[in-house]
Amino acid sequence: MQAAIAAMAAHTILFSFTPSQIVLNPVAFSTPHNNPQLLSPFHGVFLNKLTRQSVTLAATAPKPLTVVASSKKAVAVLNGNSNVKGVVTLTQENEGLFSFKLLTTSILMNVYLIGPTTVNVRITGLAPGPHGFHLHEYGDTTNGCVSTGAHFNPNKLTHGAPEDEVRHAGDLGNIIANADGVAEATIVDSLIPLTGPNAVIGRALVVHELEDDLGKGGHELSLTTGNAGGRLACGIVGLTPI
């Protein structure tokens, strides 16, 4: 039993999905009735929408076990060979805390549900109008913004718009500079987490010379880069205090 608990804990490292989609399927969590000690405390529980409040399925909790750490914040300071500069912050907060007690044990498990990442952008020195804005694969600026590689694309899809299902994770669309050359935006995106296997810490944000056509421009580069032109400035995403 202890081995089973350890295995369960080891596999319950990160829940990264939209809370409104959460359904704890009783079939998936049920175990054979001829072994009642392994019956899951999840049985029959559906959570269609979680809040930040704790959902506790057990009354006694002498040994809390936190599976995933709390909120994270990151920052990227963008610079390049032009006058374009900027600061971008990325914040990922917990959407809720799900606590449950493993049957026949005194272990309480706390699982944080990870929400989308909020990206606050302020970039100056741009030509007025839209500019492609992407999360690129590498946090490597040894050869300037060129060495940050292609758009971050862990699922090997083609380039698209942030709202498309088929897109690079790093496809954050366009930011729009005003007449003074200042672009300010708040982007909320679920594919650029700060924790987990696809975390973007250590990668780079890049602002481009031209508008990203979001894969729909018909240019030979539309499906890879959005034909967004040169890289005006970039910055490596690094952790910062919350």
Where does this chain bind Zn ion (CB under 5 A)? 151, 159, 168, 171
* Closer CB to Zn ion, 95 or 171, in the complex: 171
Structure tokens at 162: 């942030």
Q: Min. distance of Cβ 10 from Zn ion in angstroms?
A: 34
Query: Active-site residue 136, yes or no?
Result: yes
Marked catalytic residue, from 131, 134, 167, 203: 134
CB of 225 to Zn ion, least distance (A): 6
- Distance, in Å, from the CA atom of 132 to the CA atom of 230, rounded to the nearest integer, reads 10
Measured CA to CA, the distance from residue 82 to residue 190 in angstroms comes to 31
Active site (annotated) includes residue 231:
yes
Task: Judge whether 47 and 95 are in contact, CB under 8 Å.
Answer: no
168 is catalytic: yes
DSSP SS3 for 216: coil
CB 163 to Zn ion: min, Å: 13
For residue 24, the minimal CB distance to Zn ion (Å) is 34
Give whichever of 97 and 145 is closer to Zn ion, judged by the CB atom.
145
> Based on CB atoms, which residue is closest to Zn ion, 61 or 221?
221
Looking at 140, 171, 212, 213, which residue is catalytic? Answer: 171
Single out the catalytic residue among 189, 203, 208, 213: 208
d(CA 14, CA 68): 6
Is 208 in the active site? yes
For the question of residue 43 being annotated catalytic, the response is no
The partner residues of 54 in beta bridges, in order of sequence, read 97
Which residues, in sequence order, are bridge partners of residue 113?
Answer: 15, 96
**Residue whose C-alpha is closest to residue 182's, from 117, 145, 131:** 131
| Least Cβ distance, residue 156 to Zn ion (angstroms) | 12
Closer by beta carbon to Zn ion, 140 or else 213: 213
The one catalytic residue in 168, 203, 212, 213 is: 168
Compare residues 137 and 171 and give the one whose CB is closer to Zn ion.
171
What does 27-61 look like in DSSP terms, one character per residue? HHH---TT-GGG--TTTT---S---SSEEE--S--
Catalytic (active site) residue 159: yes
**Any idea what the Cα angle at residue 239 is, between residues 172 and 79, rounded to 5°?**
60
Residues 6+ apart with CB under 8 A from 120: 88, 89, 90, 91, 185, 186
Marked catalytic residue, from 131, 167, 203, 231: 231
Give catalytic residue positions: 134, 136, 151, 159, 168, 171, 208, 231
